[in-house]
Structure 1
Amino acid sequence: MRSLPWRLIDRLRAPAPDPDRVGWMLRHVFAHRALHGEGRAENSPAAFRAAMDAGLGIECDVRRSRDGRAVVFHDATLERLTGSTGEVDRMVIGELTHVALSVGGETIPTLRDMLELVAGKVPILLELKSDPDRQVNTLCRAVRRDLEGYQGDIAVMSFDPRIGQWFARKMPQVLRGLVVTEQEHRTYSGTIRRHRDLWTARAQFLAYDIRDLPSSFAARQRARGLPVLSWTVSSRALRERAQNHADAPIAEGEGLA
């Protein structure tokens, strides 16, 4: 009885999508940060090309530049992935696209360049990276600008439910998802937060931390029609877990075997 109000509100605030709209998610394995390794940097053009050659979907990360352009890059700062320093959102696009990645030597790609390269050949999951202390409008507008007119299966997702909320209002034709981890939030207050974030985002699918599966929250959403993808599937054992408790893996390394 305790779960009944959740179920009713979930249906009202985050209705399940048309199965035909999300069917492509269930038919693919997604390469986490594209197919990196063997001299290919994560989220690099070489990694995008390798994923396409392997017939894999692509999951990648998107941040914004200081002047409101979308770039494909995971971290908030440059240090881990390049030989440079600095915060991504404090640099203009012309600076960022001249920064070389430490592996492979390619430069940081813009989202527009990545979309032109993929051109609908494989599906794409865009994880939008935001700062909880800042507005998301500039980031979302930058992504919308590049997505307009794109022909291919694509969806946006984020830990930040404001991202889904923005796309539900401004670009509802684009599928939107909520990225979820239960780590350190396996309490009743954590359950409340997950439902609240689901409603705010009006999520049409979930990208779930593989460490948390099986999960009663994920299972309930999946049962009512929200696809559940799972990250980061990095071993054969985790691949089996994803097969049992999710609809598609977001995988790397041995998880792609």
Structure 2
Amino acid sequence: MPVFPQIFLERPIAHRGYHDVAAGRPENSRAAFEAAIAAGYGIELDLQLSKDGVPMVFHDYDLQRLTGARGPVQQKTAAELAAIPLLHGDECIPTLPDVLALVAGRAPLLIEIKDQDGAMGAGIGALEAATAQALAHYDGPVALMSFNPHSVIRMAGLMPDTPRGITTCTYRAEDWPTLPEATRDHLSGIPDFDRASADFISHDHTDLTTPVVAALKARGVPILCWTIRTPQEEAQARLIADNVTFEGYVA
């Protein structure tokens, strides 16, 4: 199991980059990543898969909220996606190789692999393989995570020397209406942490006092959390969490 790099605990992590639409920096944009680097923050980003198997730096499964275009990301090629402008900025959707070339080791990258199964199941693999290929020769600090433990397990096989974690929460029904109750109950206990040879968790900051988080912390597992939006939330979270993923204020 790789040692979790201290650099991921030393500086706050900018959620989807240090984004600010009023300043022309959409989430998961080059401008947001450059701003995070300039401010001395770490960077969290999300990956979705294009139709032709390229990891795209984009959070949602559908294009509309962030671009105004319609349709799933997976139904368009990387070239088509790279030509779609992000709202509130002057750039288009980047690929993971684009972002790696931009960052070039200047900030730690916390990369979330979005669930491609649709129900946190085992129907994954293509995005994980494409991510590993893109990262094969990248020299900067990287950690990988996913809500789907199958993805974390797959990355353990593909990139055993790269730190990895499970993105977690208590899986309330109102927040996860499409997941079956049995799946939500299973995942909320973080039962796959050891099976995935995980190095950390990134947990919902509103539920940091749950017994499963306390048990992992007692084992010395680094606890990250998401998504902090005020200094007051950060102060409260840091009573338990070792670091925060934040947005919307100067951390």
TM-score by length of 1: 0.87
Question: Pick from 94, 99, 103: which aligns with 1:109?
Answer: 94
Select which of 196, 202, 209 maps to 1:201: 196
Contact 1:25–1:227, Cα closer than 8 Å, also in 2: no
Shift of residue 81, structure 1, vs aligned partner = 0.4
Query: Where does the alignment leave 5 or more consecutive residues of structure 2 unmatched?
Result: 174-180
Q: Distance in 1 between matches of 2:192 and 2:185?
A: 10
Contact 1:59 1:125 in 2 (8 A): yes
Between the aligned partners of 2:188 and 2:225, the Cα distance in structure 1 is 19
The yes-or-no answer on 1:56 pairing with 2:41 is yes
Q: 1:133-148, aligned counterparts within 5 Å?
A: 133=118, 135-148=123-136
How many aligned positions are there? 238
Distance 2:190 2:204 in 1: 16
The equivalent position to 1:33 in structure 2, one of 16, 38, 43, is 16
RMSD: 2.0
SS in structure 1 at match of 2:18: coil
What's the counterpart of residue 229 of structure 2? Answer: 234
Aligned counterpart, 2:177? none
Q: TM-score, normalised by structure 2?
A: 0.89
How far 1:64 sits from its partner (Å)?
0.7
Q: Residues of 1 paired with 2:143 and 2:187: CA distance? A: 25
Structure 1 residue matching 2:56: 3-state secondary structure:
strand
**Cross-structure match for 1:89:** 74
- Once residues 199 and 101 of structure 1 are traced to their aligned partners in structure 2, the CA distance between those partners, rounded to angstroms, is 38
Q: Mapping of 1:212-251 within 5 angstroms?
A: 212-251=207-246
User: Larger % of helix: which?
Assistant: 1
Percent identity of equivalent pairs:
38
1:24 aligned to 2:7? yes
Q: Counterpart in 1 of 2:165?
A: 177
Tell me how far 1:135 sits from its aligned partner: 2.4
User: What residue identity is the alignment partner of 1:178?
Assistant: I
Tell me the CA shift for residue 192 of structure 1: 7.2
The CA distance in 1 between the partners of 2:145 and 2:190, in whole Å, is 16
